[in-house]
């Protein structure tokens, strides 16, 4: 769970207050100042301010080495049992991608310089549509499906869809 600059500034203020240290920070705001944060970055050049990628809690729980290794072990067993190692046309994968329909504010977090991805675990709260795609190990795909929330299809949803995708 990465640390946000605001959480760090609040923690520094709380530490200073609890230990009775002198400080120039406003007691009404209860945060270390922006100048303190800028000096922190100078003192710690290995720390960078980055935009985080949202990761929902359920997915975060499954991103550990043991669970991933167990998945690939089970996959190998299934491919062996069904004799599919030499039949890539029969090995399919389906994936879904959530496309947010409402904008949300991407939070900044602190991370080590050079980190490729920084995930912030946050519940999904924005309205979205899901795109579901399926293809086999040879690269052959079936047309994707778009899933919208609701019980009835709105006519404006299909106005810009290619023919045959209603």
- Averaged pLDDT, 25-48: 93
The pLDDT of 50-54, averaged and rounded, is: 75
The predicted pLDDT at position 122 comes to 60
Which of 14-18, 37-41, 129-133 is least confident? Answer: 129-133
pLDDT of residue 89: 93
One-letter-per-residue 3-state SS of 92-135? EEEEEEEEECCCCCCCEEEEECCCCCCEEECCCCCCEEEEEEEE
User: Six-digit token pair at 33?
Assistant: 């100042």
Task: Report the pLDDT value the prediction gives residue 61, as an integer from 0 to 100.
Answer: 77
- pTM for this entry: 0.45
**pLDDT in the model for residue 115:** 75
């Amino acid at each position: 769970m990465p640390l946000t600059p605001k959480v760090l500034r609040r923690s520094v203020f709380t530490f200073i207050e609890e230990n009775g240290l002198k400080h120039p920070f406003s007691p009404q705001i209860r945060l270390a100042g922006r100048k303190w944060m800028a000096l922190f970055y100078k003192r710690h050049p290995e720390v960078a301010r980055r935009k985080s990628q949202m990761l929902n809690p359920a997915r975060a729980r499954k991103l550990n080495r043991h669970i991933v290794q167990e998945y690939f072990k089970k996959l190998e067993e299934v491919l062996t049992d069904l004799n599919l190692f030499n039949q890539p046309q029969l090995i399919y994968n389906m994936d879904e991608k959530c496309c947010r329909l409402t904008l949300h504010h991407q939070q900044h977090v602190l991370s080590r310089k050079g980190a490729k991805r920084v995930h912030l675990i946050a519940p999904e709260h924005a309205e979205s549509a899901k795109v579901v795609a399926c293809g086999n190990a040879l690269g052959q795909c079936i047309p994707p499906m778009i899933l919208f929330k609701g019980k009835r299809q709105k006519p404006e949803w299909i106005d810009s869809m290619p023919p045959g995708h209603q």
